[in-house]
Amino acid sequence: MASTQGWPYIVIAETPNPIRQLGADALCERAEAMIITIVDGLTLPAAEIERRLKDVSEQQTDRHNTLRSEGAGLKVSSVTPDPVHHEADSPVQLLTRVYDHAYNHGWTDGLPIIPATPELAQKFIAASGRAADTLISVLPPRKGHATVGVIAVNAIMAGCRPEYMPVIIAAVEGLSDPAFPLELMQVTTNPMTPFLLVNGPVRKKLDINCGTGCLGPGWRANATIGRAIRLILNNVGGALPGVYSKASFASPLRYSYICGENEEENPWTPFHVDRGVKREDSTVTVFKASNFCNISGGEGVGPEEILRQIATNMPPMYGGRDGALLLLGVNHAWSLHKTGLTKRDIQQRLWELARLPASHFAESFAARESAAGRGDAETVWRARSPDQIYIAVAGGPGPQDVYIAAEAPQTRVIREI
């Protein structure tokens, strides 16, 4: 973070996590323990801070090229990739060396990468229709500059095709909206991650899977667009595991979390039309999301039973706080539509059904949810209002639906070239 701002170092006062459950006395004790570091950071001459950093005995330089100086309350970090030139006796050996180099520098998600040569980068930049130095966003927490050129390099490493660039850029724009809690997502101990929902003609143009297996492997666009977003968040935003990202367990969904809406088998209007966009436009909507729950709904017969089965798999404690995204399977979408139900009807009924007795939860959790408008004295609710239950249609045939704890959707029109 320091190097991206042109600073020689950055002073950070730390306290161990968690602090949410601490009482007032414990919080005061933690705060007092940090005051010395804060005062030193504000008042000591730069030369003295640098001397202390050098004297710290417990230093560790990890594979992200981050110097972490613990024990003195001080940290200095910098990421300064060296120019790369590799030679090898075979293409396999060359690719292996490039992968090893990128991994050792912390530029990958752990998987092999495609080398971003200057010639390939130019193709990706041209496919974006913008100049390489065009700034799309400044990404937290490192405050890295996500220019078109930088986005192109990460898209190449992820295995994307050049024509995916407009989708990736639109997604980065959505992630950067002030209303989207990106900085929280980048540094929290929670495994939350962006989920991307793609709408419009671009789905077919790029072969983005929206039907059978849409959340699984097998489609290049789904796998690599989502992966490009993760590499951008790590390499540009700085969400390096164990460095800035403190996710206790993290999630395999942080590799890629994306699908298209199955508009062709959606009996209602597509999601982007519900958001006020023209049907013929292509969009990407980014959600703050957690893990998904697949709902096997074969037990439900008739609209009321189908919705009850779905609601019982939308527990309030699932971690999405203010919202929920329901990916209705095509079977249930058409079954509900044929009975005359609208999306609004479904939202209303799920909001009424997705509740549990407050006695099922820790008292502090139930009290917090009630104070936030997601419950009352007797029950805890999945969402504050029906509007915070978002509905799209996806997947293939079968009595299956998917519930994702998701909120803060940001929709961006894809600027196709």
- Gap between the Cα atoms of 270 and 281, Å rounded: 11
Mean pLDDT of 170-177: 97
Q: What is the pLDDT of residue 417?
A: 65
> Where is 218: in which H helix or E strand?
none
> Cα-flanking dihedrals φ and ψ of residue 324, to 5°?
-145, 140
150: exposed, middle or buried (C-beta count within 10 Å: 0-12, 13-18, 19+)? buried
The two tokens of residue 210 are: 């929206």
Class of residue 141 by CB neighbours under 10 A (exposed 0-12, middle 13-18, buried 19+) = middle
Which residue from 265, 306, 264, 291 is spatially nearest to 400, judged by alpha carbons? 306
Domain boundaries, the chain: 3-69, 84-189+216-256, 262-413
Mean pLDDT across 101-108: 91
Count Cβ atoms within 10 A of the Cβ of residue 239 and give its class: 0-12 exposed, 13-18 middle, 19 or more buried. buried
Task: Assess contact for 10 and 77: CB atoms under 8 A.
Answer: yes
- Between CA 22 and CA 26 the distance in angstroms is 6
Mean pLDDT, residues 153-181 = 97
Global pTM?
Answer: 0.85
Mean pLDDT, residues 117-122 = 94
Mean pLDDT within 366-384: 89
* 227, containing H or E segment: helix 220-235
pLDDT of 318 strictly over 80:
no
**Collapsing DSSP states into helix, strand and coil, what is residue 52?**
helix
More reliable by pLDDT, 47 or 276? 276
Residue 66 contacts residue 77 (beta carbons within 8 Å): yes
Above 60 in pLDDT, residue 190? yes
Encode pLDDT of 256-308 as tens digits: 999 999 999 999 999 999 999 999 999 999 999 988 899 987 666 789 999 99
